[in-house]
A and B are shown apart, each in its own frame.
Chain A
Amino acid sequence: MTAAEIMAEAAQSLPAARCAAEGTTVTMDVPPEDWLAALSFARDVAGCDFFDWLTAVDEQDEGFAVLVHLYSIEDRQHLLVRTLIPRDNPVLPTASGIFRGAGWPERETHEMFGVVFDGHPGLAPLLLPEGFEGHPLRKDFALAARAAQEWPGAREPGERRAAERSRRRLVPPGVPDGWPPP
């Protein structure tokens, strides 16, 4: 199916989905209730039967975005399916019944972001060591290595150690105010 055909079909069968096409990629935003319906649509109607990856993005106050990238080898058509789930209840039905390959990415997304995939056959940690606490890819997760190490940029030229009474307080780029949390 071409991008235009996918968009037309989606308008019929998934009225709540918002679709946009760019080049050979269609991006489809669906409400969480339509998650499995959208993935079935992608596989069976749109022909995007190659499961590439599944992951999440911490959108902070808006919740977690969960994304699946699918591909049609036959039509060389990309399809990105996205949904947004609330931060205080990050639950989504598992896609492993539709794409078996989604099992491991869901385990990884579960440990890294704390997203729960309802109905997953074994949501055990995949990469993190046993007993690891927290979800390291959440934006409020403080990286222990950053808290333990002194920032090499804190020194001033010609000074032996980090300037404690610097004229301006130097903060590593990209680090928000008040970080790391005390």
Chain B
Amino acid sequence: MTDLAPRSRGVIGLLEENCTLCMLCARECPDWCIYIESHKEALPAPESGRPQVRNVLDRFAIDFSLCMYCGICIEACPYDALFWSGEFAYSETSIAGLTHEKDRLREWMWTVPPPPAHDAGAPLPREARAAGPGAGPG
């Protein structure tokens, strides 16, 4: 994978831990190829107050037989849960195999390259500035 440009578009990885099931990627997808299913789960109430309800992911799948690799889902995700991987060799003998479910999408995360370094002399990212001295690259 060393010869690929850092922003190569191969396959899309899902960092499931970051996904909040907000549905934004599925709604923005022009190809309608992102399928998200979820259900609500009530956590037992703390000593007082109401039980907390949270959304739990049941299914997250991308159908790469429909995907046109526009990257809009990655741009739309407000929680950094979707990433480009450079991996492109995932051909299948059956079209159904091109629908990657969440476990497979999570596995692709191990192939996501680190983001390219900032330009020399570029200001520190806002997050790094907010974190104070010692944070951020270099």
Contact = CB atoms under 8 A, between A and B. Distances in A.
Interface string B31-63: 011111111100000000000010110000000
A173 B27 contact: yes
A174 B30 contact: yes
B24 to A, nearest CB: 9
Given A153-B27, A173-B27, A158 B38 contact: yes
A152 B35 CA distance: 6
A145 to B, nearest CB: 9
B21 A153 contact: no
Nearest to B30: A174
A158 B34 contact: no
B29 interface: yes
Contacts, number: 47
Contact of A152 (B21, B22, B32): B32
B112 interface: no
B81 to A, nearest CB: 13
B90 to A, nearest CB: 21
Nearest to B66: A145
Interface in B96-129: none
Contact of A172 (B20, B32, B35, B36): B32
B15 interface: no
B23 interface: yes
B77 to A, nearest CB: 14
A149 interface: yes
Contacts of A174: 30
Contacts of A153: 23, 26-29, 32
Contacts of B33: 152
Contacts of A159: 38-40
A52 interface: no
Contact of B32 (A149, A156, A157, A160): A149
B19 to A, nearest CB: 10
A157 B21 contact: yes
Contact of B37 (A146, A151, A160): A160
A170 B28 CA distance: 11
Contact of B22 (A151, A157, A172, A173): A157
Contacts of A160: 37, 39
Contacts of B38: 155, 157-159
24 contacts: A146-B32, A151-B32, A152-B29, A152-B34, A152-B35, A153-B23, A153-B26, A153-B28, A153-B29, A156-B23, A157-B20, A157-B21, A157-B22, A157-B23, A157-B55, A158-B21, A158-B55, A158-B56, A159-B38, A159-B39, A170-B27, A173-B28, A173-B30, A174-B30
Interface of A: 146, 149, 151-153, 155-160, 170, 172-174
Given A157-B38, A158-B40, A159-B38, 17 more contacts: A152-B26, A152-B32, A152-B33, A153-B23, A153-B28, A155-B36, A155-B37, A157-B20, A157-B22, A157-B23, A158-B56, A159-B40, A172-B27, A172-B32, A173-B27, A173-B28, A174-B30
